[in-house]
Amino acid sequence: EAGVTQFPSHSVIEKGQTVTLRCDPISGHDNLYWYRRVMGKEIKFLLHFVKESKQDESGMPNNRFLAERTGGTYSTLKVQPAELEDSGVYFCASSQGATLLETQYFGPGTRLLVL
């Protein structure tokens, strides 16, 4: 069974440009999460999809970030325009259910560097 995959693995862009990150969850997982780790800080929650619906986007930093999950399969996270402070590692995770006990399976992350 394929795990969570993310594309690209690395991205280097200039301030003001747009970047789109993609996440493919484990097949059959309705729940998809985005997290971010800024250098030296904790991994922090960004948002949670259940199928194609945003269940919770309370962790999104600001309106420069737009997440979508059309059709309830893969998800994209767009940053437009990118700022220096957006640099970090963006993780995607998926789970079958959504409970306190549920294991979230993580992808390898996308390392974003904004210059």
Partner 1 sequence: AQSVTQLGSHVSVSEGALVLLRCNYSSSVPPYLFWYVQYPNQGLQLLLKYTSAATLVKGINGFEAEFKKSETSFHLTKPSAHMSDAAEYFCAVSEASGAGSYQLTFGKGTKLSVIP
Contacts of 41 (CB under 8 A, 6+ apart): none
The yes or no reply on residue 61 touching partner 1 (CB under 8 A) is no
Residue owning tokens 């640099």: 87
- What are 88's two structure tokens? 């970090």
Note whether 21 and 86 are within 8 A (CB): no
Tell me: does residue 42 bind partner 1 (CB under 8 A): yes
Q: Does 11 bind partner 1 (CB under 8 A)?
A: no
Question: Contacting partner 1 (CB under 8 A), which of 61, 72, 81, 108?
Answer: 108
d(CA 67, CA 8): 16
100 lies in the site for partner 1, by CB under 8 A: yes
Considering only 44, 52, 72, 96, the residue that binds partner 1 (CB under 8 A) is: 44
- For partner 1, the closer of residues 17 and 74 by Cβ is 74
Instruction: State which amino acid sits at residue 14.
Output: E
Can you tell me the distance from the alpha carbon of 9 to that of 63, in angstroms, rounded to the nearest whole number? 24
46: tokens are 């960004």
Number of residues located near partner 1, criterion CB under 8 A: 30
Residue of the chain from 18, 55, 73, 80 that contacts partner 1 (CB under 8 A):
55
* 58 touching partner 1, by CB under 8 A: yes
How far, in Å, CA of 82 to CA of 13, rounded?
8
Residues engaged in binding partner 1 (CB under 8 A): 3-4, 33, 35, 40-45, 48, 50, 55-56, 58-59, 91, 93, 98-109
